[in-house]
Chain A
Amino acid sequence: MTRRIPTLLLTVFAATLFGSAPVIAQDAKGKPAPAAPAAAAPAAAPAAAAAPATDVNRFNRLLKPANQRNLPPMQDGIHDPGSEGTAALMPPLSAFETLPRSNAGNRVNWVKALEDRAINPRWDRVDANAAPVVMDLNIVREVKGSMPDVVYPHKQHTEWLDCSNCHPAIFIPQKGANQISMAAILLGQKCGVCHGKVAFPVSECRLCHSKKKDGPVARSGQ
């Protein structure tokens, strides 16, 4: 009898879930339940249909719906739900609650979070009071196409990074020495070493392409 108790409980629980009262009634009497498989079949069908992934004609098929963003590790698709450690990990949303949001990446505006002191990440591994060496120098890159020119702000970058992170391996610190293309960035080179991996991705065009051109292209566009 004791061995059967879990099975009974589970069946009752599952039956309650799908609202099939006849199954419970039969279980309670301890009678054979020939109708049970028949009752389970229709119950299973709507549950499967409710799963969003099964609707092939759903709107914005390839977009990640809002309720699939910033999922906790147990559901995020790469953590193993069977690992004990996964349950101990912090769900991203709980950390992001107080941070300014953005429209891409983690959907956190990390630069603003730092500016507003919503976060205070260390500049040194152990010294909590070490301050960054911030360099305030904007580099304007004139672009060939009709997009606005790119303004690269050293300020926001040196808040996070050391000069040696980018210079000279990724960018030669000399005007005109670096050829940058969107193709290279998309493939993870140049700006794409970070942008598109941990920093905001290229979908946020205007965060970089932010300076109106002086030439005829810009004027005709207005």
Chain B
Amino acid sequence: MKQVPWVTRVRRGLTALLFAVVAITLWTPSDSRAEYGDIVINNYADAAGMRPAIFPHWFHRIRFRCKVCHADLGFQFKAGGNEITMLKIIDGQFCGACHNGEVAWSVENCDLCHSGKPNTPTQVHESTIQKLAVPVGQGGSKK
């Protein structure tokens, strides 16, 4: 079955166009949607060529009370204020106190934490201060 090349080209173009439309419909460019209290930590990740890490508070507070991390493990109440590095984690500090293959899955599951969109700045997602600090005209969330 011989095809005229331009038919194939038109078809490919069509397919691409339709997929773009579907993609735009499904992923509308509204922004501030992640879960309340999700922490994006991007102190070093971007510079190291990794995706930023995202810490979901909601998931952890179902399993641990605030005190376990914020008193016992020494996490300060400040996004990006703890200067967490992979070396410290592997040494059993911060996330590494649990993410060691015993209490929770261990550090070789890079993508489970480092799953943020590249270049997302360190932030407490959906926080009041984040909403206050962004002018309404910008959509209220790009930060």
Contact = CB atoms under 8 A, between A and B. Distances in A.
Interface of A: 1, 4, 7-8, 10-11, 14-15, 17-18, 27, 30, 32-33, 36-37, 40, 43-44, 47-48, 50-54, 62, 64, 68, 70-71, 73, 75-81, 83-86, 88-90, 92, 95-96, 105-108, 110, 119, 121-126, 132, 159-162, 164-165, 186-188, 192-194, 196-198, 201-202
Interface of B: 1, 3-4, 6-8, 10-12, 14-15, 17-19, 21-22, 24-25, 27-38, 40, 51, 54, 56-59, 61-68, 70-73, 77, 97-98, 103, 109-118, 120, 124-129, 132, 136, 140-141
A162 B62 CA distance: 17
Contact of A160 (B6, B7, B67, B114): B67
26 contacts: A11-B11, A17-B22, A40-B14, A40-B18, A44-B17, A47-B21, A50-B25, A51-B25, A53-B28, A53-B30, A64-B32, A71-B33, A78-B33, A78-B38, A78-B125, A79-B115, A79-B117, A89-B56, A121-B62, A125-B97, A160-B61, A160-B65, A161-B65, A164-B71, A197-B124, A198-B61
Given A51-B28, A90-B59, A196-B128, A125 B17 contact: no
A197 B97 contact: no
B65 A121 contact: yes
B106 to A, nearest CB: 14
A111 to B, nearest CB: 11
A77 B115 CA distance: 11
B27 A85 contact: no
Contacts of B120: 78
Given A80-B115, A107-B36, A162-B70, 8 more contacts: A8-B11, A17-B18, A40-B18, A53-B29, A54-B28, A76-B35, A79-B34, A106-B37
Given A64-B32, A83-B111, A7 B8 contact: yes
Given A187-B129, A197-B37, A4 B3 contact: yes
A50 B24 CA distance: 10
A122 B65 contact: yes
B101 to A, nearest CB: 14
A119 B61 CA distance: 9
A86 B38 CA distance: 14
Contact of B71 (A47, A161, A196): A161
Q: Which one of A14, A27, A54, A95 has the highest number of Cβ atoms from chain B below 10 Å of its Cβ?
A: A14
Contact of B140 (A54, A62, A192): A62
